[in-house]
Structure 1
Amino acid sequence: MAAPPQALVNRNKKHFLGVPAPLGYVAGVGRGATGFTTRSDIGPARDANDVSDDRHAPPAAKRTKKKEERRKKKREKRLREELERYRQERPKIQQQFSDLKRDLSKVTIDEWKAVPEVGDVRNKKQRNPRAEKFTPLPDSVMARNLGGSPLPQSILIQDWQSNKHFEHFSGMLTPTGDMDLRKIGQARNTLMDVKLSQVSDSVTGQTVVDPKGYLTDLQSMIPTYGGDINDIKKARLLLKSVRETNPNHPPAWIASARLEEVTGKVQAARNLIMKGCEVNPPKRRFMARSGTVRIWIKAADLELELKAKRRVFRKALEHVPNSVRLWKAAVELENPEDARILLSRAVECCPSAVELWLALARLETYENARKVLNKARENIPTDKSIWTTAAKLEEANGNHHMVEKIVERAITSLSTNGVEINREQWFKEAIESEKGGHVHCCRAIVKAIITCGVESEDQKHTWMEDADHCVNQGAYECARAVYNIALQTFPGKKSIWLRAAYLEKNHGTRESLESLLQRAVAHCPKSEVLWLMGAKSKWLAGDVPAARGILSLAFQANPNSEEIWLAAVKLESENKEYERARRLLAKARGSAPTPRVMMKSAKLEWSLNDLNATLQLLDEALRVFPEFAKLWMMTGQIYEQRNDLSKAFDSYNSGLWLEAIRIEIRAGMKDIANAMMAKALQECSTSGILWAESIFMEARPQRKTKSVDALKKCEHDPNVLLAVSKLFWSERKISKCREWFQRTLKIEPDLGDAWAHWYRFEQLHGTKEQQEEVKQRCLAAEPHHGELWCSVSKDIKNIGLNTEQTLLAVAKEVAIPV
């Protein structure tokens, strides 16, 4: 049964409808509202005593914003307080003058008028006011209207604009006013008509004056100067005043003449110049009144006679007695006696001028010069040149024992006076002393200065650098002094003895070299090269017995030395003492059987044309030294000489690839030679002589590639570098060829083949100077090795040739590369 309608209504009715609101209820608070108030309401909807509901607190962002606003207010307040405090401590300028500004209210009208204008302190015109100036119209405007036809107004206005500083014209208004410029031109025309009428003929209506011609003449008389006439008058008066005040002032006369010249008055300018020359005859009178040293010297230069020049300098020294330049110039014009007198006075006026003291000492006698230098040391205790001059003076007068004492005292005195002892400057002084011929002085300086500022462990290295520097400067006596001190400190150093020996060999005498070598072998008896240098020096001098004596002493000190044995053999063989050479080689084979000794023994027999004895010695040597390639080569060459090619091939094939390859090439078997070369390069990949040979076995297009491969394998081999030089020669690359020759000989200066090829190259492509340079460098290097070089130098026909003769002979054998 369905419920009645009334029951449905009661069931849907809300239970809070019609019920009083609970205590503290605020409508809408559940939706986040805090009251329903308007601007017209007196207060908030919520009572002040109501309990707050934290569930509906304001968002955090709003709280943060309020907090920031409070901080901002505090910060601004703090800034205002700091600014006020800063202003109180450092008030503005206007605040500092605030009390004075208040006092301005008490200033009267008369006081205000007495206040000066701005700039009164600095502006001279405002401090001295003058009457207002009225400047007439420029003559350029008047000249333009002389022709009778007025100029356009725009041109006149431009002329006025170029003279804006003129404000009045005879009481008229300025161009900025209402003045009509055309009327000015008409007035000028009227004025010209009046003047023409005055000079006209008495006949009425007729005249003998041509108006156009007269105006043309007037135009030609106008000066070319375009400035103001009043300015010219002022300048003329001013220069006249200068001339009258100081007639001996040439620039005033010159300026006056120049002014007249500019304004077109040439004759007046001439008159002024002539009168100025009368008042000031020569220029030197004007210069004599000046204290400038340069002007005095110029005045002396203007004089043509020597006597007049002396007079000018003596007059100059009266006005400028402390000028060193004037004293030196004056002394140069005097004879020695007068110069000595002048210098005596000069050192009194200029006691700190070292050059004057030294010049005076040079002109004095020995005793007086010593006194002069002593006075100079008293006046200038910090200059070393006075001490060195004193040392040179003693040396020049034969007091060599005093030279070293003076130099030592100089070092001590200068150090005491706070002067830094600079080794480089003192070495420079020593070099200059040597070049001036003062040998004892340079030695004393080197001895006194060589140890200054050098640690004991750096002495040898530093002293060798000092010696090299002296040699480069051409100061060989200084270098000798350095070596002597170094040898006293390091007597057992073979390298220092060798350096000193080479210095004597290149720049000394034979006696000095031999004396040094005698001392050297006494301290270094085991040094073979020192013994050999001594023996060679005696041999070159033609003293063969002395050379034998040195070598015998060398044998005693070095009984098993290969170099000494071979040197003795060479001495005997080149002096045609072949039996002595044979006996020496036999002893050498017994005591020092080295490959070179065996080879030299066979070479001696070969040179004497005893081929059987040569082959016997070679067979004996090959059994002991089968790896020595030159023995195999010699054997093959002897068999070739006998026309026994099969044995020659076997010999080359057994010991040396290169000769075997060359035999195939000479036989025309190029393919076999290429195959052998390829195999040889595989087995001996670092053999420079094989790579050098392989380059020219290739066809021309492939030679460059082959040379690159050779350089990769043997970068620093002289044979490869020589082959590359020849390759550039074949390609006619002159500069590169010369560069590679130099590179080759820098690595191996003992390679005679390179010297011969370079000399031949310069004979074909160089100058006489370049040929001579190569020859001299070759003589200095004294080469001994090289296949072509040895084939000529060791030929029995060429025994006794020196280095120069060998170079010329080998150069003839050089084949031009193609």
Structure 2
Amino acid sequence: MASSKPNKLAFLSQPAPAGYVAGLGRGASGFTTRSDIGPAREGPSAEAVAAARAKRGEEDDDDDDERFQDPEEEGGLFASAVYERDDEEADRIWESVDRQMDERRRKQREARERAEREEARMRTPKIQAQFADLKRNLTTVSAEEWAALPEPGNLTGKRRKAALARESRDNRTYALPDSVLVGARDRNQVQNEAADVDMDGTRSTLGGATSSLTEIGEARNKLFSHQLDQASTSSGAAQSGLSSSIDPQGYLTKLSGVSVKSDVEIGDIKKARSLLDSVIKTNPKHAPGWIAAARLEEVAGKMAVARKVIAQGCEQCPKSEDVWLESARLNTPDNAKVILARAIQHLSQSVAIWLRAEQLENDPESKKRVLRKALEHVPHSVKLWKRLVNLEESPEDARILLAGAVEAIPLNVELWLTLARLSPLAEAKSVLNKARRTIPTSHEIWIAAARLLEESGEPAERVDKTVATAVASLEKAGAVLSREQWLREAEQVEREGSPATCAAIVKATVYLDIDPEDRSRVWAEDAHAALEQDYPVTARAIYACALHEFPDDTTLWRAAATLEQQYGTREALEALLERAVQHCPHAEPLWLQYAAEKQRAGDVPGARDVLSRAFDHNLGSEAISLAAAALEAQHGDARAASLLLGRARREVDTPRVWLKSAQWERTDGTPDAALALVQEALQKFPREPKLHMVHGQLHEARGDDAGLRAARDAYAAGRARCPDALPLWLLSSRLEERAGYAPRARALLEKARKAHERSDVLWAESAAVELRAGSVAQAKSLLARGLQACPASGLLWSASIWLEPRPARKTRAADALRRTGDHAQVICTVARLFWDEGKVAQARSWFGKAVAADRDDGDVWGWWYAFEDAHVRTEGDAPRAQVLEQAVRANPRHGAAWAPLRKDPRHARDDVRTLLPQLATQLVAAHAALAGAAGP
């Protein structure tokens, strides 16, 4: 039986009353959402959408909204989160971390990106870059060739027809309307009326306006008269009322230089004149206003008005020297003297006015009179004293004037120094002592005193003591100079020709402002900077102080020896090296340099003694042993050289000693002994590439088939043991090429290029092989591929320049200079291009730049010597001898043609002076052969 009791929770299934807000009775605030009020426009119901999908056959699957959500945007989870200060700090920290991580390898990344861009540009160049050389070739087209180009309008039939149609259209005739004829008739009538002139009144009408030819003539005469008046006032003294004459011959010439001002300029002058009139009337005591007004009239060409205006300015502003000077400038010299005399009455202390008055005088006596009068009013003016002293021709009179000048101006250093310079020796010392007491803070006076001691023949110790006292006295007086300032003073003294004073300044001040641990480095930098600016005395003094402080520093000794070698004498260099080896007995480079200097001077016993002493202090030294053997070999004592090399092989036992021993036996004419030594050395040092090279060359020198096969095997063994030795690959290729097996030579070079793709020597050798074979196109292709692999190779660029046609070589050379960074070989090629064109001065200049870029390249010296040798008949032997002497001093070691020539056993005892002419002949012959193979 169902209960009749009502259900208390039945209201939950009933709709809410109208206006009901949940929680309002408990104090909650009500809010309304879109679900409460519904959408703004009611869409289709869910049933309608489901029916439409069923009708189309689509399945009713729920769209997953989360799959369209951005994983980086956490809006669904943290959309309502508050962005607090901690969040801001965390974001800032992460941003700084990102920046630091980005900066860590920024340089490497940028370099990698730059390389990738260059590679992409080389792989897929732009069309503009591909046709850049063709565009440059357009500069060689002459004016006749441009004029000979056919007209584009006559090339095709379509254009010819269009031109004919246009011509026929232009030749059509049309009937003119009557209005045009009537207008032409009226215009002719107006012109005829303007031409009709009454015989009695000279009046005519033009377009309703009355014109008088008489008035036009009067205006012209008035303008001409005004020009005459203006010329007369500008050339005469208008202010004094004197009449001036006009030069009838030069007047027309003067009129040609008169500038005719336009209406705009005249209008601007009128505006400026009104403004300046307002300025000088409002404030008549304003001197710049009067000056500007006078200059405006000067620009307008009214000199008389300008002088009148500036005269009024002098009356209104008598205490302004600028107004008086401007008035003197605008007037004639005679009137200017009068004006300046009036100015001195108001401004007797003005130095500028006195100097201007002195300049207006013509004879020296008048100038001196004016300056003496000026010094009566302004006795403390340095300018006036200097000007008066310069006018004196007698040194005695100048000295008397300077004595008065230093009494009037005792604190001027320049006057004291000039007085000391003009005084005798004894009086000069007294003058400088008095100047030093008067101006205790002047370092110039102390330096002048030291120079005076040096000029008088005093010993260097006294000069050093004077400069040291100067530094202490200046420091006590508070005039402290920095070390850099003292070095600048030393350089200035050296420039003026006082080396002892320069050295004394360096010795007394080089220790200032330097920590003890930084002295060696800073002094080396200072000496290097002084040498770069061509101050060897200053650099020598710095090195002397540095070596006194650090006598065991080998680097400083070698730098000082290099300085003496370039700027000093042989005796000074040998004395320095003697001190160096005494302080650094274990420094092999110093001993070797000392022995080399003795040998270069022809003192062979002295060189032997130096090497003997060096070996006593450096037992088992490879370099000293080889130097001693080379010394004996070069001076004909073969037995002593062999004994020394044998002793070195027993005591030192290095690959270089064995190599030099084999080369000596080869040079001495015993190839079998040399071959035995090389084979014994290869058993000890199988991975020494130079031993393999000499081994192959000894077999190749035999000249028979057996020697050829043995040399081929020797080179092959060397390549197997030393695959990175490029000279072995080159020797193998050249051996096959000389034997007549060019394909083998190409194969060897190709195999070497695969292992060493970035070697420009291999690419150049491959191109040379093709050129010698007569295949110019293949040589160009190989050079192009080589430049892609080695874009900054001067060797490849130089070879590619000569394969270009003659008109394109300059452009190619400019590209080479830009790509290689002014490589020595490219510069030498540019010099040869100038030589080929007959431009001797430019070629000589570029050869000098080439040897300056790389003094160790013997090929560059050879080409320069060949150039000078070719111009001996026209310019004499002096340039060639100078080049030879410079090459001897440079003593080059490297070069594609120089190194093999120098290492040739036949030239083992020849020096640079003997080998350089042979190299020049060889280079010219090789270039001629390649040019003949390449064709024109």
The answer to whether the superposition gives a TM-score over 0.5 is yes
Q: Distance in 2 between matches of 1:325 and 1:455?
A: 45
- The answer as to whether partners of 1:391 and 1:406 remain within 8 angstroms in 2 is yes
Does residue 726 (structure 1) correspond to residue 799 (structure 2)? The answer is yes
Residue 97 of structure 1: aligned partner: none
Deviation, 1:577, is: 1.8
- The answer as to whether partners of 2:757 and 2:789 remain within 8 angstroms in 1 is no
Distance 1:430 1:341, change over 3 A: same
Q: Which amino acid aligns with 1:258?
A: A
Which residues of 2 match residues 526-605 of structure 1 at below 5 A? Answer: 526-605=586-665
Q: Residue 258 of structure 1: which of 300, 304, 319 is its match? A: 304
- The answer as to whether partners of 1:722 and 1:754 remain within 8 angstroms in 2 is no
Q: Distance in 1 between matches of 2:759 and 2:239?
A: 98
Gaps in structure 1 of 5+ consecutive residues: 1-30, 33-53, 62-146, 157-211, 227-235, 241-250, 263-278
Deviation, 1:647, is: 2.0
Q: Distance in 1 between matches of 2:798 and 2:857?
A: 14
Which residues of 2 match residues 157-172 of structure 1 at below 5 A? Answer: none
Distance 1:238 1:282, change over 3 A: closer
Q: Distance in 1 between matches of 2:222 and 2:763?
A: 98
Q: Which amino acid aligns with 2:779?
A: R
Distance 1:808 1:317, change over 3 A: farther
Secondary structure at the residue paired with 1:454? Answer: coil
Residue 892 of structure 2: aligned partner: 783
Distance 1:417 1:611, change over 3 A: same
Deviation, 1:503, is: 0.5
Q: Residue 360 of structure 1: which of 402, 413, 419 is its match? A: 419
Does residue 669 (structure 1) correspond to residue 732 (structure 2)? The answer is no
Deviation, 1:691, is: 4.5
Gaps in structure 2 of 5+ consecutive residues: 1-17, 32-200, 228-236, 242-293, 309-331, 719-727, 771-777, 827-849, 932-936
Q: Residue 708 of structure 1: which of 787, 799, 807 is its match? A: 787
Secondary structure at the residue paired with 1:696? Answer: helix
Secondary structure at the residue paired with 1:467? Answer: helix
Residue 429 of structure 2: aligned partner: 370
- The answer as to whether partners of 2:865 and 2:920 remain within 8 angstroms in 1 is yes
Deviation, 1:282, is: 7.5
Residue deviations 1:521-548 (CA, integer Å, cap 9, x gap)? 1111121111111111111111110110
Which residues of 2 match residues 116-195 of structure 1 at below 5 A? Answer: none
Distance 1:540 1:218, change over 3 A: closer
Distance 1:456 1:488, change over 3 A: same
Residue 654 of structure 1: aligned partner: 717
Q: Residue 365 of structure 2: which of 277, 293, 307 is its match? A: 307
- The answer as to whether partners of 1:430 and 1:478 remain within 8 angstroms in 2 is yes
The more displaced of 508-517 and 751-760 is 751-760
Does residue 403 (structure 1) correspond to residue 449 (structure 2)? The answer is no
Residue 333 of structure 1: aligned partner: 391
Deviation, 1:448, is: 1.8
Residue deviations 1:136-181 (CA, integer Å, cap 9, x gap)? xxxxxxxxxxx999999x999xxxxxxxxxxxxxxxxxxxxxxxxx
- The answer as to whether partners of 1:725 and 1:740 remain within 8 angstroms in 2 is no
Q: Which amino acid aligns with 1:752?
A: G
Residue 142 of structure 1: aligned partner: none
Q: Distance in 1 between matches of 2:305 and 2:692?
A: 105
Q: Which amino acid aligns with 1:398?
A: G
Residue 170 of structure 2: aligned partner: none
- The answer as to whether partners of 2:869 and 2:880 remain within 8 angstroms in 1 is yes
Residue deviations 1:388-412 (CA, integer Å, cap 9, x gap)? 1122122222334332233223323
Deviation, 1:787, is: 5.4
Q: Distance in 2 between matches of 1:679 and 1:461?
A: 49
- The answer as to whether partners of 1:531 and 1:554 remain within 8 angstroms in 2 is yes
Q: Distance in 2 between matches of 1:216 and 1:668?
A: 102
- The answer as to whether partners of 2:333 and 2:360 remain within 8 angstroms in 1 is no
Deviation, 1:472, is: 2.0
Secondary structure at the residue paired with 2:555? Answer: helix
Q: Residue 527 of structure 2: which of 441, 444, 467 is its match? A: 467
TM-score, structure 1 normalization: 0.62
Bigger RCO (CA 8 Å, 6+ sep) = 2
Secondary structure at the residue paired with 1:427? Answer: helix
Q: Distance in 2 between matches of 1:805 and 1:312?
A: 73
- The answer as to whether partners of 2:202 and 2:214 remain within 8 angstroms in 1 is no
Deviation, 1:723, is: 4.2
Root-mean-square deviation (CA, aligned residues, Å) is: 4.6
Residue deviations 1:20-53 (CA, integer Å, cap 9, x gap)? xxxxxxxxxxx99xxxxxxxxxxxxxxxxxxxxx
Does residue 497 (structure 1) correspond to residue 557 (structure 2)? The answer is yes
Residue 382 of structure 2: aligned partner: 324
- The answer as to whether partners of 1:695 and 1:723 remain within 8 angstroms in 2 is no
Does residue 345 (structure 1) correspond to residue 404 (structure 2)? The answer is yes
Residue 260 of structure 2: aligned partner: none
Q: Which amino acid aligns with 1:809?
A: Q
Deviation, 1:764, is: 9.1
Deviation, 1:445, is: 0.8
- Structure label with greater radius of gyration: 1
Distance 1:727 1:420, change over 3 A: farther
Residue 442 of structure 2: aligned partner: 383
Deviation, 1:812, is: 2.1
- The answer as to whether partners of 1:760 and 1:812 remain within 8 angstroms in 2 is yes
Distance 1:808 1:237, change over 3 A: closer
Distance 1:653 1:622, change over 3 A: same
Residue 232 of structure 1: aligned partner: none
Deviation, 1:214, is: 14
Residue deviations 1:269-328 (CA, integer Å, cap 9, x gap)? xxxxxxxxxx99675455455354344444444444333333232233223322212211
Residue deviations 1:720-750 (CA, integer Å, cap 9, x gap)? 6434433334443445667322689899754
- The answer as to whether partners of 2:760 and 2:790 remain within 8 angstroms in 1 is no
Does residue 481 (structure 1) correspond to residue 541 (structure 2)? The answer is yes
Q: Distance in 1 between matches of 2:362 and 2:646?
A: 88
Work out the percentage of aligned pairs sharing the same amino acid: 39
The more displaced of 312-321 and 542-551 is 312-321
Which residues of 2 match residues 219-230 of structure 1 at below 5 A? Answer: none
Q: Distance in 2 between matches of 1:547 and 1:260?
A: 87
Q: Distance in 2 between matches of 1:215 and 1:673?
A: 99
Q: Residue 617 of structure 1: which of 666, 677, 683 is its match? A: 677
Q: Residue 752 of structure 1: which of 858, 863, 877 is its match? A: 858
Distance 1:564 1:722, change over 3 A: farther
Q: Which amino acid aligns with 2:736?
A: E
Distance 1:239 1:805, change over 3 A: same
Q: Distance in 2 between matches of 1:467 and 1:689?
A: 38
Q: Distance in 1 between matches of 2:307 and 2:530?
A: 67
TM-score, structure 2 normalization: 0.55
Residue 394 of structure 1: aligned partner: 453
Distance 1:257 1:747, change over 3 A: closer
Q: Distance in 2 between matches of 1:460 and 1:373?
A: 36
Q: Which amino acid aligns with 1:344?
A: A
Q: Distance in 1 between matches of 2:533 and 2:400?
A: 38
Distance 1:708 1:259, change over 3 A: closer
Q: Distance in 2 between matches of 1:776 and 1:464?
A: 29
Distance 1:735 1:281, change over 3 A: closer
Q: Distance in 2 between matches of 1:375 and 1:383?
A: 12
Residue deviations 1:431-478 (CA, integer Å, cap 9, x gap)? 121222222211111112212111222211111111012212222121
Q: Distance in 2 between matches of 1:679 and 1:215?
A: 99
- The answer as to whether partners of 1:598 and 1:617 remain within 8 angstroms in 2 is yes
Residue 741 of structure 1: aligned partner: 824
Q: Which amino acid aligns with 1:479?
A: A
Q: Distance in 2 between matches of 1:237 and 1:593?
A: 105
